[in-house]
Structure 1
Amino acid sequence: MNVLLKNATIVDSTNKNLHLKKRDILVKNGVIDKIASKITPPNKTKIIDYKNLHVSLGWFDSSVSFGEPGYEERETIENGLKTAARSGFTDIVLNPNTNPVPDSSSDIVFLKNTAKYSVNNLHPLGTLTAKGEGKHLAEMFDMKNAGAVGFYDFKRSIENSNLLKIALQYAQNFDGLVHSFPMDTKIAGKGVVNEGEVSTKMGLKGIPVLAEELQIARDIFILEYTGGKLHIPTISTTNSVKLIADAKKKGLDVSCSVAIHNLFMIDASLEEYDTNCKVMPPLRTKKDIKALIKGVKEGVIDFVCSDHIPMNIEEKRVEFDNATDGSLGLETTFGILNQIFDLEKSIELLTRGRERYQLQTPVFKEGEIACLTLFNPEEEFTFTKEEIVSTSNNSMYLGKLIKGRVFGVICNNQILI
């Protein structure tokens, strides 16, 4: 496959010689063959010459759910990866949000094999506990050898403190990354939205910020005792940022992420009772958003993720209390991120994070394998159902202004535009 990108603006702050320069880029047989001011294309070369074409290293998302196996009506792996590629992501970490959950090496092999020939790369998480039930550790070592990049009972907190302690100690034997969802279920109770003025006004049970922060404080204390590697996914409160900042100052090996919607939308967005805005952790307040954005800028928060969770219509078109948590996020992550931060910061956030999962980071230079995302950062449009690539339609961003159009990706010696 030969592809020539014409007059593309390169966005790569790690490469001062090319950053924000316009260049022609020739990709031959999946490798960046030449980068120059002007390149005459060889025969049988696909030429991409789009208005305001920008190119960066391929984007990475640390929290994506599909449905297969078990929930194929939500999203298959094939269409989910196509959605990710159309959204600019060359690498995604797949959550164990399936039925059955992946808790053995054979489950990880199935996921890897199903995605083997895709234009982009799927990196599966295995569950931390058998069947994701929080009672006994799963086959972590075997799953790691089969290709699991970490261990996570998706959106389920590890209530048994001793189990988390043992997991962190055991995982050190093979450099495993343990995930712990930040939610004390006893404090959260039957809450469905952020506890505060909006929950009172709507007559819905609230989830206090204490539920998240208490769990994070506990997990950090355990990590300080055991050592090991801990990742806290999708934090959402002001004090959560402070707790993790303090832990990093102590030298603890802890990382965290924030979902893009928790940087963009507040709990007041729920006043229409739109179940597409029902997520976990819940949408919080302007104060929390301000603290989270500051945490991202200062590097306390390691990743901004889509937290993409497809849900079919039956799981959303019900009473708010009974609706399943989750929103689509892949298709809109760049367009929202590009409004919160400047272009350089947005691309930095989208291309960082692979090292935490022991994945190789691509390099933008001649002779290196091409792992590229193509986009126009200036195009603005209103997000509608026609823009959705996913099988499901549960997007909280419908009707929202999006800034930035993704053209597609070049990866694995394939192109999807």
Structure 2
Amino acid sequence: MKSILIKSARIVNKESSHHGKEVNVQIKNGKISYIGDDAPNSDETIEAQGMILSAGWFDLQAVFADPGHEHKEDLLSGAAAAAAGGFTGVALLPNNKPVTQGKNDVKYLKSNNQDTLTQVYPIAAVTLDCKGVELTEMIDLHVAGAIAFSDGLRPIWHTDILLKSLQYLQKFDGVLINRPEDIHLNMFGVMNEGISSTQLGMKGMPTLSEELIVQRDLELLAYAGGKLHLSNISSAKSINLIKEAKKKGLQVTCDMAAYQLDFDDEDLMSFDTNLKVNPPFRTAKENKALFKALKEGVIDVLVSAHNPQDEDSKKLEFDLADFGINSLQTVAHNIATLAKDIELDTLIEKVTAAPRKILGLSNPVIEEGENAELTLFSPDYEWKLAYNTNFSKSENSPYWNKAIKGKAIATFNNDKSYIHKQ
């Protein structure tokens, strides 16, 4: 890789001696070759005034749909979208066809890592075919390189399976990730249950469907021990339950989709199927509680919740359309929006050090001689996610072709770079 000079960026990296400083950073041959006030000769210069240079962002939850649905996304297009979104690492949910449940499945997902900027970290299924009935061989999967265990887009509905998983994973200090959802309460639901769903005549998905499972999971965690991560939290009561569990010393963490607070259920009056997600967009009141939890640190991580869908899955009546947003490249916009009221350093932590800590990975350090695994982020850059900027195979985004602020300007890792041409 040619030498690149990043001029006048502010370092956000608590592990670095340069944290909080505005400096010039040179990258050469995949390494950080210089940090300081000078401007050594370089093949390319990026003017980075007003921008943040951090450790490469890490996404704790995405779907690449490969194998099985490569027309929606594949490993290479997903990695390209992730790099353009600022992510140097992505943890992939197991909901492929076939499900990630064997050694060869893990090996396949990691097969392009040596050639791509963004590295894939497979999350293996807890149960065979994610059906919640029979446990997978988790020790073998761990040895094969699975970073964590989850049924991904499907909740672990079977109480005994959840209990046994928490106990089993303690043998190698593994992390269980569960999406809290009572599938029976949410059956046929398409949006948040409330005034808006009643006015639209659509079947609602109550916050109770999440809260019951959060409470169940936390009770089982207190009983069995282990490490539990609850994904895609969307309810104020869920937050309060998690907050209390943390106070009791339970090893529980949680995340929220980065886009969750950008919309509420009233926005679905437009019947835009790109706003159909699970968990659904809740009320403005619930959003305020989630925002407070994010600010206070109860919510540990922001995830892309990237779930690409093709045109045939979205251009349907609202109740027939599939759930999901193409969201890897717009997390930077979500962070820029949240930064109006939350410290940027706090938000950057939730997409760098925090997800890696949960998975037992070290956070890259911005020091001379270290590998250049970096993300350069501009909170003020205006752009559009459109045909000429979209790296995903899918277009199912509520931000599509709309002017938004906040973008990853450059991403570096594995002796490779993505640089947005401004």
Structure 1 length-normalised TM: 0.95
Question: Aligned partners of 1:335, 1:15: CA distance in 2, in Å?
Answer: 25
Residue aligning to 2:18: 18
Q: Give yes or no for contact 1:105–1:139 (8 Å, CA) kept in 2.
A: no
Question: Aligned partners of 2:48, 2:214: CA distance in 1, in Å?
Answer: 46
Question: Aligned partners of 1:54, 1:340: CA distance in 2, in Å?
Answer: 15
Task: Note the C-alpha offset of 1:116.
Answer: 2.9
Residue aligning to 1:416: 418
- Going from structure 1 to structure 2, the CA distance change for 1:25 and 1:16 (only over 3 Å counts) comes to closer
Task: Note the C-alpha offset of 1:415.
Answer: 1.5
Question: Aligned partners of 1:6, 1:151: CA distance in 2, in Å?
Answer: 38
Q: Output aligned runs, 1:210-359, within 5 Å.
A: 210-341=208-339, 342-352=343-353, 353-359=355-361
The number of equivalent residue pairs is 414
Question: Aligned partners of 1:293, 1:323: CA distance in 2, in Å?
Answer: 28
Question: Aligned partners of 1:82, 1:4: CA distance in 2, in Å?
Answer: 20
Question: Aligned partners of 2:5, 2:157: CA distance in 1, in Å?
Answer: 51
Q: Give yes or no for contact 2:77–2:393 (8 Å, CA) kept in 1.
A: yes
Q: Give yes or no for contact 1:5–1:48 (8 Å, CA) kept in 2.
A: yes
Residue aligning to 2:115: 117
Residue aligning to 1:179: 177
RMSD: 1.6
Q: Give yes or no for contact 2:17–2:367 (8 Å, CA) kept in 1.
A: no
Residue aligning to 1:403: 405
Residue aligning to 2:390: 388
Residue aligning to 2:53: 55
Question: Aligned partners of 2:407, 2:166: CA distance in 1, in Å?
Answer: 41
Q: Give yes or no for contact 1:8–1:54 (8 Å, CA) kept in 2.
A: no
Structure 2 length-normalised TM: 0.94
Q: Give yes or no for contact 2:275–2:325 (8 Å, CA) kept in 1.
A: yes
- Going from structure 1 to structure 2, the CA distance change for 1:16 and 1:73 (only over 3 Å counts) comes to closer
Q: Give yes or no for contact 2:13–2:54 (8 Å, CA) kept in 1.
A: no
Question: Unpaired segments of 5 or more residues in structure 1?
Answer: none
Q: Give yes or no for contact 1:261–1:283 (8 Å, CA) kept in 2.
A: no
- Going from structure 1 to structure 2, the CA distance change for 1:40 and 1:400 (only over 3 Å counts) comes to same
Question: Unpaired segments of 5 or more residues in structure 2?
Answer: none
Task: Note the C-alpha offset of 1:295.
Answer: 1.0
The 4+ residue runs of structure 1 with deviation greater than 6 A are none
Task: Note the C-alpha offset of 1:221.
Answer: 0.5
Letter in 1 for 2:345: E
Task: Note the C-alpha offset of 1:265.
Answer: 0.8
Q: Give yes or no for contact 2:26–2:40 (8 Å, CA) kept in 1.
A: no
Question: Sequence identity, in percent?
Answer: 38
Residue aligning to 2:366: 364
Task: Note the C-alpha offset of 1:20.
Answer: 4.2
Question: Aligned partners of 2:266, 2:386: CA distance in 1, in Å?
Answer: 21
Secondary structure of the residue aligned to 2:216 is: helix
Task: Note the C-alpha offset of 1:31.
Answer: 1.7
Task: Note the C-alpha offset of 1:35.
Answer: 0.7
Question: Aligned partners of 2:221, 2:48: CA distance in 1, in Å?
Answer: 50
Task: Note the C-alpha offset of 1:2.
Answer: 4.1
Task: Note the C-alpha offset of 1:33.
Answer: 1.8
CA-to-aligned-CA distance 1:236-286 (integer Å, 9 cap, x gap): 011010010011111111111000121211011111111111000011011
